[in-house]
Amino acid sequence: MRKNIIAGNWKLNTTLAEGLELATGLNEVLKGKSPKCDVVIGVPFTHLASIAAAIDTRKIGVAAQNSADKEKGAFTGEVSAAMIASTGAKYVILGHSERRAYYHETPEILQTKVNLALANGLTPIFCIGEVLEEREAGKHFQVVDKQVEASLFELSAEDFAKVVIAYEPVWAIGTGKTATSDQAEEIHAHIRATLAAKFGAKAADDCTILYGGSMNAGNAKDLVSRPNVDGGLIGGASLSVANFLPIIEAF
Ligand code: 13P
């Protein structure tokens, strides 16, 4: 059975005090509720340990937004999967289009990061998605297939079962231009078929595939009502409890 997940990606936002306020605020409002999905927040490295200690991590999973492609050693400024796991975080967002575009993360680097995350007991939330020119050229199916193949196809079936995928069309990120639920359903179904061809129908059926890109309280219900859309990865609208809670409650 696949899980539904609503995950926030705070990106480069919030001081530690602001992040703690946001996380504990969400923790408070979820206390009396039983959401029909898992809830995750992707926070800056500096906030991981404090937030994991301040909230009920059985109710809200904590995610890092990146991790090193090295285990340990002389790599100044890097944060390893083992370090992330040691804070109480359970997830790591990998392959976000912002990391691919601005920090030149290649499919090979991402493959290493996925492997290290899994080896350290973290659930990778692995992001894929095409840019506008690729969509307009009708290449979006090809693009996501390549991204999945290059970074995930070497995994064992057992490890693949621990991966969450997030489809985030780059043209919809931070633009206010959401994919329609038809567009999301179409490509999610395609991604699932690609996964089925490699890992088998059951593994593909069990894989959680999130949608990301200008998801908000107004469009979340429509998106998550589609059979192949298992939740969302939310940027801007995850930065306040008032905006994030209705998305959690879209299920
Ligand atoms: P927005 O929700 O701000 O468009 O960001 C989506 C995203 O990139 C989540 O990872």
Q: Tell me, in angstroms, the distance from the centre of ligand 1 to residue 170's CA.
A: 9
Which pLDDT belongs to residue 164?
A: 98
pLDDT of 102 above 90: yes
- The DSSP bridge partners found for residue 126 are 94, 165
- Considering the four listed CATH numbers 3.40.50.720, 3.20.20.70, 3.30.1490.100, 3.30.365.10, the one that applies to the domain covering 5-177+185-248 is 3.20.20.70
Instruction: Report the DSSP beta bridge partners of residue 165.
Output: 126, 209
Q: What CA–CA distance (Å, rounded) separates 247 from 216?
A: 6
Whether residue 143 has pLDDT greater than 90: yes
Q: What is the pLDDT of residue 149?
A: 98
Percent of the chain scoring above 90 in pLDDT: 97
The structure tokens listed for 179 are 């994919």
pLDDT at 197: 98
Q: Which atom of ligand 1 is nearest to the CA of 237?
A: 2
* C-alpha–C-alpha distance, residues 81 and 35, integer Å: 28
What is the arithmetic mean of pLDDT over 140-146?
Answer: 98
Give the pLDDT confidence of 8-20 residue by residue, as tens digits.
Answer: 999 999 999 999 9
Is-contact 23 43, C-beta < 8 A? yes
First to last CA, the chain: 16
Domain coordinates in residue numbering, the chain: 5-177+185-248
Residue 180 pLDDT grade (very low, low, confident, very high; cuts 50, 70, 90): very high
Centre of ligand 1 from the C-alpha of residue 196, in Å: 27
DSSP-based three-state secondary structure for 125? strand
Summarised one tens digit per residue, pLDDT across range 103-134 is: 999 999 999 999 999 999 999 999 999 999 99
- Residue 99 to residue 110: CA distance in whole angstroms: 10
Give the DSSP letter string of 219-236. THHHHHTSTT--EEEESG
Residue 203, Cβ density class (10 Å: 0-12 exposed, 13-18 middle, ≥19 buried): middle
Strand partners, 63: 42, 91
Mean pLDDT to the nearest integer, 132-155: 97
* Angle between helical axes of 241-248 and 16-31 (0-180°, round to 10): 40
The yes-or-no answer on residue 21 being catalytic is: no
pLDDT of residue 22: 98
Interval between CA 216 and ligand 1 midpoint (Å): 10
The catalytic position among 140, 168, 185, 188 is 168
Longest dimension (CA), the chain: 48
Atom of ligand 1 nearest to the CA of 215: 2
pTM value > 0.85: yes
pLDDT value of residue 7: 99
